[in-house]
Amino acid sequence: MRFDIFTLFPEILAGVFDESILKRARQANLLDVAVHDIRAYTTDKHHVTDDYPYAGGGGMIMKPAPIFAAVEAILGCPPSAPVILLTPQGRVFTQTVARELVRHPRVALICGHYEGVDERVREHLVTDEISIGDYVLTGGEIPAMAIVDAVARLLPGVLGDPAAAANDSHATGLLEGPHYTRPAEFRGWRVPEVLLSGNHGEVLKWRRHEALRRTWLRRPDLIAAADLSEADRAFLAELARAAETQ
Ligand code: ADE
């Protein structure tokens, strides 16, 4: 899968795809990330990429011409891939959106900056707008990194264990329960005995219960939307009863 990232600040993105799992994914040709400097597509002497808003109002607006020129130079006209603008006004990025994006062989990300981008970019170039959450960052570079990371780890072969992504927090609709590694006792705190028991069935049941418990405590909104069995519901009812009697 290939990402084309369009930005005024390519240096921010240098390096993040050069470490750890994403680096290996790129070396294995599972992932390709190209960062394009929007400023390189300006045609004026001073390489201006932003300007004052018509009719006043605060802040600067990213000009349409350099953004159109950059995206069309790389992806053609019309662009041959989804073109996503990163903006706090977009639909909120979730694991479901990551799964949707990973189906595309190529995705373009435009990093917004300043007060925003000229509306004609939204209307005539962009095919989707994504926000990584209800807070405002100084630009779309960090959101672009978050999206590439979340999507890349869903590509087959990127994670060492092919089942890992399927069990992640959010992938199942629930948060994952706790994890432990050696030693079995650290400062007097023991790992739950069931994890040392070698009883695979009991371990699976414990993991499911802990995922349900954690989600119920921390993100009850996810419980409402999760795909739950009768046994899951019975366990949740038990949790609720126990909480009431406390
Ligand atoms: N640009 C600024 N804030 C953002 C956000 N929350 N998501 C995506 N792009 C942004």
For residue 148, what pLDDT is reported? 98
Grouped pLDDT means (10 residues each) for the chain, 246 residues: 98 94 97 98 98 94 98 97 97 98 98 94 98 97 98 96 84 94 98 98 98 98 95 98 94
| pTM as predicted | 0.94
Whose Cα sits closest to atom 7 in ligand 1? 131
Separation in Å, CA 199 to CA 25, 85, 146, 204, 215:
35, 49, 37, 9, 24
pLDDT at 162: 76
Judge residue 42's burial from the number of C-beta atoms within 10 Å of its C-beta, 0-12 exposed, 13-18 middle, 19 or more buried: middle
Domains and CATH numbers, the chain: 2-152 (3.40.1280.10), 185-245 (1.10.1270.20)
Q: What is the pLDDT of residue 86?
A: 98
pLDDT of residue 23: 96
Question: What is the rounded distance in angstroms from the CA atom of residue 86 to the CA atom of residue 92?
Answer: 10
Of 87, 110, 126, 130, the one to substitute when testing ligand 1's pocket (max ligand atoms within 8 A of C-beta) is 87
Q: Note the pLDDT of residue 161.
A: 84
7, 114, 136, best to mutate for ligand 1 pocket (most atoms within 8 Å of CB): 136
Q: What is the DSSP letter of 113?
A: B
- 93-147 pLDDT tens trace: 999 999 999 999 999 999 999 889 999 999 999 999 999 999 999 999 999 999 9
Determine the Cα–Cα distance for residues 148 and 5; give it in Å rounded to an integer.
10
DSSP string spanning 125-148? T-SEEEESSSS--SBSHHHHHHHH
Residues marked active site are found at 88, 115, 153, 168
Cβ-proximal residues to 120 (8 Å cutoff; 6+ apart), any chain: 64
What residues flank ligand 1, with Cβ below 6 Å?
A: 86-88, 112, 131-133, 135-137, 139-140, 143
Token pair 């779309």 is found at 140
Residue closest by Cα to atom 5 of ligand 1: 88
Strands (E), the chain: 2-7, 32-37, 50-51, 61-62, 83-92, 106-111, 116-117, 128-131, 185-186, 189-190
Six token digits for residue 1 = 């899968």
Confidence (pLDDT) at 114: 83
CA of 218 to the centre of ligand 1 (A): 25
pLDDT at 171: 83
**Amino acid type, 190:** R
